[in-house]
Amino acid sequence: MMRPSTLFGLLLLAGAGISVPALAQDYIFKGGYPTSETVAKVHNELDLNRAVSAYRFFYPTVSSAAIFKEMVRIGATPNKVFGYMDTQPRQVGFTLNSDTPYGGMLLDLHDGPLVIEIPPGPLLGAALDINQRWIMDMGVPGPDAGKGGKHLLLPPGYSGTVPDGYFVGHASSFKVIAGMRAIPDKGDVAGAINKLKTIKVFPLEQRADWKPPTWMDQTSIAQNQTPTTFETTLGFWEALHEIVEAEPPLAGFSTEYGDLAALGIAKGRPFKPDERMKAILEKAAAMGSAQLRVESLADQRPDRIVWPDRQWQWASLRFENDAFETPDYRDNEAADKWFYQAIATSPAMFRRDPAAGSLYWLGLRDKDGQYLDGAKAYRLRVPLPVPDRLFWSVTVYDAETRSQISTDQGKAALRSLFELASVKGDHADLYFGPEAPAGLDAPWIKTIPGKGWFVYFRIYGPQPSAFDGSWKPADFEEAN
């Protein structure tokens, strides 16, 4: 820390018009007042610092808003038309996977409290607000535990009577995304989709004008449910302004909204940045995106490693709650890593529970610590049996888009419910590379030369050996 006498001496030198060395040489003050050059420089730095910090904090909000807007573009309508899909690489979405079909329900709580009635069966999902803040789990990981039940979503500020017989969640935004998945029994995807379509949504208070929502098949529709096309541009801030204008602020984060207000983004105020501010916001978007990419794909924290003798990392930095809260602080690094490469959190996603929990391991380096290269061939040896109660999978993602890799093979995953359903023995060898393994009828995913890639190894219903290290997959090894 600089001594007060030293600081006073520097200010005296600056006041006398003498060049100030080292730390303070770029900031000139005369008689204690900043020069016009220093004023301009410092204001630009202040706004840039605020903007980079705001970009990182509100990235989950803009990511969620991109999902909402894209689903509306392809035909979904809040409270009226929902969408389902057997997820494929043609659908760009942060670390989506094809283990199970998805059912997406856009909800608008301006219509008042809404009920989501889940039937009994192998359904799992959650409802999140537009800021990707968890509201409630549903289905197998939820309070109904797969037995079915009515889940009541209350809008912000709701003060009405809450009747008995509901699992209740309090939303902090009016726009809500409820995502459900159905586990295909013996690989029956069509049957799983039909199960999704039996989910019902209706208002808590009966309305004569209410019509039961319909379901649309979005499987064959090319779509991009991410902000990747505008996340380094002014479009990021325009999307954020739309949410700030339309939704209540997150409780407890007035400081973050204060930074936005200083940048010209505040409720009730038009967003009209001048040329100086546009340049700053665009620079901040580029810087923020680069910082999140480095944190997400080049994490250096020691606690990222799952096992000391492997390269596998925790996709979520081993958090066991949806808000990345520690006893003393919110782990912003962990949140950054997760939300740049994934969407949605819930307690069930990270719960260490063999009955309904899941594990997500991130693999992006080979056994020698080098990034996985789309031009090389690799083998991944997986000991059998995998300690799962439900199913497991390995999904390949494009490092640029953080979405399923898209090639003429048309697939990005190797799954215990499908491609790996008949594997036997004490291990399974999985292959990855630009060409299929010669002479081997083996599970293989095609990669793209010139592109980096990473995988998520997922276990649903993990058993104790997946937690204590007595079971673990090998590292990726180059294969001839």
Going by their DSSP bridges, the two strands 444-446 and 427-433 should be labelled as parallel
3-state secondary structure of 199: coil
Bridge partners (DSSP) listed for residue 454: 397
Q: Which CATH architecture has domain 42-73+230-295?
A: Orthogonal Bundle (1.10)
Half-sphere exposure of 437 (CA within 13 A, CB side): 18
Whole-angstrom distance, CA of residue 354 vs CA of residue 351: 9
Q: How many residues does the chain have?
A: 480
Please state the pTM of the whole predicted model. 0.91
Task: For residue 275, give the nearest of 234, 230, 240 by alpha carbon.
Answer: 234
Does domain 76-224 correspond to CATH entry 2.60.40.1610?
yes
Overall CATH class of domain 302-478: mainly beta
DSSP count for the chain of H helices, then E strands: 9, 24
With a cut of 70, list the residues of the chain below it in pLDDT. 1-25, 317-320, 350-356
Domain boundaries, the chain: 1-34, 42-73+230-295, 76-224, 302-478
Token pair in block for residue 5: 């006498």
* C-alpha to C-alpha distance for 228 and 66, rounded to whole angstroms: 9
**pLDDT for 353:** 64
Residues paired with 457 in a beta bridge = 361, 394
Query: How remote is the C-alpha of 149 from its chain's centroid?
Result: 27
- In this prediction, residue 354 carries a pLDDT of 62
